[in-house]
Structure 1
Amino acid sequence: MQAAEPAQVTIPEIGAVWPGQGGIYAGFIPARNDVQGYHLVLGDELGRFEWGQYGDDSPATSLIDGRANTLALIESGGEYPATIAAHKHEADGHTDFYLPAAAELYEIWLNLNGKLAGWVWSSSQRSAYHAFYMYFAGGYQGYGGKTSVLRVRPVRRFIQ
């Protein structure tokens, strides 16, 4: 008996809704360090939230791995409203959303330039008082006080 062939998945055009995947296709993120390459699905805007825990160093130190940052923040038990909102997001039956890292937000901006607007939190901490964000309308990345209230756009990974 032959093993079943894996089902072929049709990857949509960047910026198109990816049916059954919980959002729009935001492009392919190449492998970096010990993280394999993956397709990125961008979920709906969830609202505006503080990053949280102003004055405390957090375990969210990766600039490239938002999933690792999100899990570290959730497991720490701290009050991180932006991360908690992204982590709780569900769409199309998927519950593996997370707050993207700074590099992931930059890749989204590169791929969806002009299709998104506003200031959006990353999961990447800059210091005990600041975290990185992305300004989609102009492509600006910077950092702001963790008590600032910015948009949250959760993402999830699709590995083929």
Structure 2
Amino acid sequence: MQAAEKSQVTIPEIGVVWPGQGGIYAGFMPARNGAEGYHLILGEELGRFEWGQYGDESPATSLIDGRANTLALIESGGQYPAATAAHEHEADGHADFYLPAAAELYEIWLNLNGKLSGWVWSSSQRSASYAFYVYFGDGSQLSYGKTNELRVRPVRRFI
């Protein structure tokens, strides 16, 4: 009996739509803190949303793991419009999107520099009143009041 052949996956060029994966290929997120690295697929812009729960500490404190942040926000039962929009997004049959963490957004900016614009929320809280965002125009990472509306670009992982 022959061993089953592994199917080959063709990874597209960065910035190109990855057919069947729900968005454009935004590059490889390197391994951090013992976690495995993964490919990032950037979904379409969903609109502008508040981050939510101004003045409340949230469970979304990771700067590197947007999936964990998003799940923590959703499971907390609080009102987090940006995370909810990303979490509910579906494309090409995939329903595993999330609001990226600050480090994931920065990695996307590094890889797609010049191909995107605007201010985009991360899932990473800065404080009870502020959350991190990335400005795709120049890669700036700043914090902004959670009641403000910024763009939401969901991501998913391909391992």
* TM-score bracket for the superposition, by shorter chain length: over 0.9
For 2:58, the equivalent position in structure 1 comes to 58
For 1:147, the equivalent position in structure 2 comes to 147
Q: Percent identity?
A: 83
Matched residues in 1 for 2:5 and 2:71: separation? 33
For 1:77, the equivalent position in structure 2 comes to 77
Matched residues in 1 for 2:75 and 2:5: separation? 37
What amino acid does structure 1 have at the position aligned with 2:131? A
For 1:42, the equivalent position in structure 2 comes to 42
For 1:27, the equivalent position in structure 2 comes to 27
For 1:100, the equivalent position in structure 2 comes to 100
State the SS of the aligned residue for 1:74. Answer: helix
Matched residues in 1 for 2:6 and 2:152: separation? 34
Residue 129 of structure 2 is aligned to residue 109 of structure 1: no
CA deviation map 1:117-148 (0-9, x unaligned): 00000000000000000000121110000001
Matched residues in 2 for 1:146 and 1:34: separation? 30
Q: CA RMSD in A?
A: 0.7
For 1:136, the equivalent position in structure 2 comes to 136
What amino acid does structure 2 have at the position aligned with 1:154? P
For 1:90, the equivalent position in structure 2 comes to 90
The Cα shift of 1:35 comes to 1.9
Consecutive unaligned residues of structure 2, counting only runs of 5 or more, are: none
The Cα shift of 1:6 comes to 2.0
What amino acid does structure 2 have at the position aligned with 1:32? R
TM-score (norm 2): 0.98
Residue 12 of structure 2 is aligned to residue 12 of structure 1: yes
TM-score (norm 1): 0.98
Matched residues in 1 for 2:85 and 2:109: separation? 21
Q: What stretches of structure 1 move > 2 A for 4+ residues in a row?
A: none
Consecutive unaligned residues of structure 1, counting only runs of 5 or more, are: none
Matched residues in 2 for 1:54 and 1:3: separation? 55
State the SS of the aligned residue for 1:5. Answer: coil
The Cα shift of 1:2 comes to 3.0
What amino acid does structure 1 have at the position aligned with 2:149? V
The Cα shift of 1:5 comes to 1.8
